[in-house]
Every structure is written in C-alpha cells, then in structure tokens.
Amino acid sequence: MGWFGKKALPPPPPPPFDVFKEQVLDHYNWSQATPIIDCLSDEVKPWVSAELSVFEAAVFAGFCGFFLLVSYTHATTPMKKTAVLNMPALNRVNIFKECFLGYVNAGMLEPIMAIASSDYDVTTRSLLLNTFQLLGLFSWLYLLSDAFDISDTQQAFVYQDRIRKDKQDKDMPDWLKKAKKGEGDDIRKGGSLFADMALWFMLACSFAAFTGVVSHRDVIHSHSICILWAILHHMSRRATAWRGTGYFHTLFAPSAALLPLEYCLNLIDQEMIGDDGLEDLETWRAFIKDETGVELTIVA
C-alpha cells in the first residue's frame, strides 16, 4: 500500500532493447555451452567432434556462406574490356612479393613441428587449427609462385607468335596439338577457386580467434598473412585491375588480383620485349588481348 491507502503502482516494464539484449545473451551462452552433437541425430554424431559447440558450428557455417557469396559474385561479374597497367607500381609489387614469399617459407615449418612434436597436446580443435594454417601457407606458396612465374605465359606467347602466327590449327603437323585450356582461361572465368582458398584458410583461423574459439597467439601466422595480403592487394590494384567487381571483392579473391600479373610481368622483361620497342609492345598487347580479352593501356 502506498501513502493514504493507495496501492503502489507496478514497476514499469523493461525497455524492449534490454529484453532483446537479454535474450541474445541467453542464446549466446547456450550456444557456447552446448555441444553441436546434442542437436544432431545418432547417425551423424560419429562424424562430428564432441568439442565443437553450437556457436562454433554456426560461425563456421556463416563463414562458408560468405565465401560462397564472394565466389558467386566472382563468377558472375564480367571482365573489363580495357585496363591500365602502371609499370612503376608493377615493379614495386614484384619486389614486395619477395618479402611475402620469405615469410611464407619461414612460417611453413612451425605448424608441421607443432603437429609432429611428441610434446604437442593434440586435440581436434588444435589439429584443425594447425592443419588450416599449414594448408593456407602451402596454398599461398603455390599462388605466389604461379602468379609471378612468367615461363608459362612466355611459352604460350612463343607458340602463338612464332609457330601459329598466320596459320590455322588445321595447318599444324600431326605431332603438334593445341592445348584445350589456355593460360588465360582462369582469368576469363574470374580466377581460380583453388587459389582463393589460400586466403580463406587463413581467414578461417583469424576469424576463429576473433570469435574467441582460439587465442590470437595460436593464429599469429594467419594474422600476419592477412596483413601481408592486404598490402600486396593494394599494391597490385595500383599496378592493374582487370575485374569489374571493385576493390573490396578482389580483397577476398586473391586470384582475381594476382593472376593477371603473370601476363604483365613480361613487359618488364627486356629479353621478351627485344630491341624493336613499340612494335614488340604492340605484339605483347595483342597477345594479352587474344588470351584474356583485356586491352591494356601502359603507363611507364
């Protein structure tokens, strides 16, 4: 009873946002404490780790969904018809690549030693973590080596310019066959899904650290690779960009940013350009357009 015999007023209801916040926290705590196997059927449980919580499984599913969205955008966006190649910026990209490769080679050994060490406490979570980092480092080694190796594009140029020039495929001898897949096919299709996995292995590990699944110290290589890639991506975009998807998209699709470089790097090779100057440059431009569909404007 209140003053003068009046009934006290009931307390005001909590604000809707506070109710919503409390519900979210309850669901979050439940998802962190509940193993995912408790939500699965008996047939599926043997295939899923008992250490994986509902929250971790949901984070992984969301991560995979974002990757599929990026891949879909990558495949459905057409190539540019024209692009600018900045030669001084291309030289800087070629130099920074050596720093990137040096770190990849140095970091390769640690996940292997961690898994193989007799003192290593192997759990499903730590094993997956080091396996993802190891696969990511191997993938980056392959991607960087492929993107900055110009031997394959030089070979394609030699066969097209010096052997198939002014000839039809039917005029070729029986012992010389045209490859079914050219070097520029991956670029025309928007890149390589396999090559893009190099970044996504690392992003998965870093994302796990930011969501509290593992510590940041456990995924230091993933953080470092992501930082190095952000720098290399910015430098490569300043050199040239052939996809029409924009800066943010190629940031999550390394193949779209790096694979065109194996064609552009030939233009800084004096042996491939030769002594004819503009005539040799025009020959390479015509070859690049025929292989990839992109007509370059060169800034030197």
Mind listing the pLDDT tens digit of every residue in the chain (300 residues)?
545 555 666 677 777 777 777 777 877 777 777 777 777 777 767 666 666 677 777 877 887 787 777 777 767 777 788 889 999 999 999 999 999 999 999 888 888 887 777 666 667 677 788 888 888 898 899 889 988 988 888 888 877 766 665 555 556 677 776 666 666 677 777 667 778 888 888 888 887 787 777 788 888 889 999 999 999 999 999 999 887 777 888 888 888 888 889 888 888 876 666 666 678 788 888 888 888 888 888 888
Same domain, 92 and 51: no
The residue segments making up the domain with residue 29 are 13-78
Check residue 101 and give its pLDDT: 93
Residue 2 lies in a domain: no
Our count of domains for the chain comes to: 2
CB atoms within 10 A of CB 214: 19
Secondary structure of residue 111 in the 3-state scheme: helix
Quick one: 192 and 232 in the same domain?
Answer: yes
Q: Is the pTM of this model over 0.95?
A: no
How many CB atoms are closer than 10 A to CB 273? 17
Answer yes or no: do 271 and 203 share one domain.
yes
Whether residue 4 lies inside any domain: the answer is no
C-alpha to C-alpha distance for 229 and 224, rounded to whole angstroms: 9
Q: Is residue 104 part of a domain?
A: yes
Same domain, 52 and 92: no
Q: Which amino acid is at 280?
A: D
Fill in the amino acid letter for 231: I
Rg of the chain over all Cα atoms, to the nearest angstrom: 27
Structure confidence at residue 95 (pLDDT) = 93
At 60 the three-state DSSP class reads helix
